Amino acid sequence: MDTQAAELLQAPNFAHISTLRKDGSPHAALVWVDVDGDNVVLNSAEGRAWPANLRRDGRITILVADKENPYRYAMIRGRLAGEDHETADEHINAMAKKYLGQDEYPFRQPGEQRVRFTIAPEHVSVHGG
């Protein structure tokens, strides 16, 4: 992973992700983002559209802009490399700490099951650095 891209992923910057719907049209979402080595890590709740899209067609584009200078951003095109439920709750709590300064994710819904996605980058570019 490019050092500048990793810095953008490690900071509390939001990610704009794009996946493909069944009909081939794009679906975009704003999400929290993390990095683990060379991989990008995302977290969601079961039942949402973008995870279903990602499972069906493993391709994803992730754009992370520097909140202090949105002209500096990283674009990552990658593929689903893995998912797991076992570490998802711990991960979303770590993300709540990163983005909200809270020890636990405060937006959990009753019965919600979290899932942690690992994305393997295929192409990374940084702009405005």
Q: At a CB cut-off of 8 Å and minimum separation 6, what does 100 contact? A: 106
What amino acid occupies position 119?
I
Task: Tell which CATH architecture fits domain 3-127.
Answer: Roll (2.30)
Average pLDDT of 106-110? 90
Whole-angstrom CA distances from 89 to 2, 47, 66, 85, 125 are 28, 16, 26, 8, 30
Q: In this predicted model, what pLDDT tens digit does every residue of 62-102 receive, in sequence order?
A: 999 999 999 999 999 999 999 999 999 999 999 999 999 99
Q: What is the pTM of this model?
A: 0.93
In the chain, domain spans: 3-127
